[in-house]
């Protein structure tokens, strides 16, 4: 079983290699809220606020229980052998979901980044590959398409900070191993998406200095317009990546608002 939240929330059956989609944005929010503190009981009141904000349905406890039951049903599709020891259980007036670090893509991402950081001290080449593999776990924005209450928003912000830190280290190892051309488009996109992150700007400036050819000798022929095509292509790739990221974020917000507006009174 793998819980995936680094993108649209879903369950992944690793034995049968199949994805189990959740039934609604609210189930995604419920999963995200429970995985924010795996193994810890989250009060039902907090979960109700997460799913419906300040507009809960008339029978809020029953409505929450219905979503919990549906999520249990999805879990049973992946792990039928845990029928007598379910991951999602009720404790008092709250609910708890059991999941270890290796059971979630976010946990595996953290572990992979920690390993890559260790490698960076003595083997930047291997560290670059390790950071690439870790970042490949991301499929989009955290809990994309889910209702985003305060718990899920906090979870998303925390993981996004970790992702940006990993990106920074990826660029650092790329520059140390002569891969400045390979990450130039990504650096430009990162600077555009996160203008307040000074280190991205510094890394982009360094990458640009390294790709700029030495000054031509006096009387040498100046390169024609076609010489700058690689740079223009990198710039366009970066813009495409940025636009795709912004589009996902906007779609996430619209779906969340739509779910809140259409929630039953």
User: What is the value of pTM for the model shown?
Assistant: 0.78
Alpha-carbon distance 132 to 121, whole Å?
17
Alpha-carbon distance 58 to 62, whole Å?
9
- Which range of 76-85, 156-165, 252-261 scores highest in mean pLDDT? It is 156-165
**Domain residue ranges in the chain:** 2-102, 104-212+228-262
State the pLDDT at residue 84: 87
pLDDT classification of 213: cutoffs 50, 70, 90: low
Where does residue 103 rank: exposed (0-12), middle (13-18), buried (19+ CB within 10 A)?
A: middle
Percent of the chain whose predicted confidence (pLDDT) is above 70:
80
Other CB atoms within a 10 A radius of the CB of residue 77 amount to 12
State the pLDDT at residue 215: 42
State the pLDDT at residue 23: 84
**163 pLDDT above the threshold of 70:** yes
**64 pLDDT above the threshold of 50:** yes
pLDDT classification of 238: cutoffs 50, 70, 90: low
Q: Which of 238, 231, 240 lies closest to 208 in space, CA to CA?
A: 231
Specify the CATH architecture of the domain 2-102: Orthogonal Bundle (1.10)
CA distances from 94 to 46, 61, 165, 216 (A): 9, 10, 34, 70
* Range scoring the smallest mean pLDDT among 149-158, 192-201, 218-227, 242-251: 218-227
Specify the CATH architecture of the domain 104-212+228-262: Alpha Horseshoe (1.25)
State the pLDDT at residue 265: 44
- Three-state SS sequence of 155-181: HHHHHHHHHHHHHHHHHHHHHHCCCHH
Alpha-carbon distance 34 to 94, whole Å?
10
Which stretches within 11-84 are classed as H helix?
25-35, 44-52, 60-78
């Amino acid at each position: 079983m793998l819980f995936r939240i680094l993108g649209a929330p879903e369950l992944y059956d690793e034995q049968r290699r199949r994805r189990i989609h959740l039934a609604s944005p609210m189930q995604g929010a419920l999963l995200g809220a429970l995985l924010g503190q795996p193994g810890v009981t989250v009060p039902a009141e907090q979960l109700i606020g997460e799913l419906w904000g300040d507009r809960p349905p008339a029978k809020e406890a029953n409505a929450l229980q219905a979503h919990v039951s549906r999520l249990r049903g999805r879990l049973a599709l992946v792990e039928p052998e845990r029928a007598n020891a379910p991951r999602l259980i009720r404790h008092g007036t709250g609910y708890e979901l059991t999941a270890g670090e290796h059971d979630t893509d976010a946990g595996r991402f953290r572990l992979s980044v920690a390993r890559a950081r260790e490698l960076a001290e003595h083997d930047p080449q291997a560290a670059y590959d390790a950071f690439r593999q870790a970042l490949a776990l991301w499929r989009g924005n955290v809990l994309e398409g889910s209702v985003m209450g305060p718990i899920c928003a906090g979870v998303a912000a925390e993981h996004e900070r970790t992702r940006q830190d990993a990106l920074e280290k990826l660029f650092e190892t790329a520059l140390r191993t002569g891969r400045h051309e390979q990450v130039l488009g990504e650096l430009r996109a990162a600077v555009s998406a996160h203008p307040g992150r000074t280190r991205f700007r510094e890394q982009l400036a360094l990458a640009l200095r390294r790709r700029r050819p030495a000054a031509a000798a006096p009387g040498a022929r100046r390169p024609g317009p076609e010489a700058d095509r690689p740079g223009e292509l990198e710039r366009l790739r970066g813009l495409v990546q940025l636009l795709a990221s912004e589009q996902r974020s906007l779609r996430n917000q619209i779906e969340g608002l739509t779910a809140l507006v259409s929630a039953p009174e």
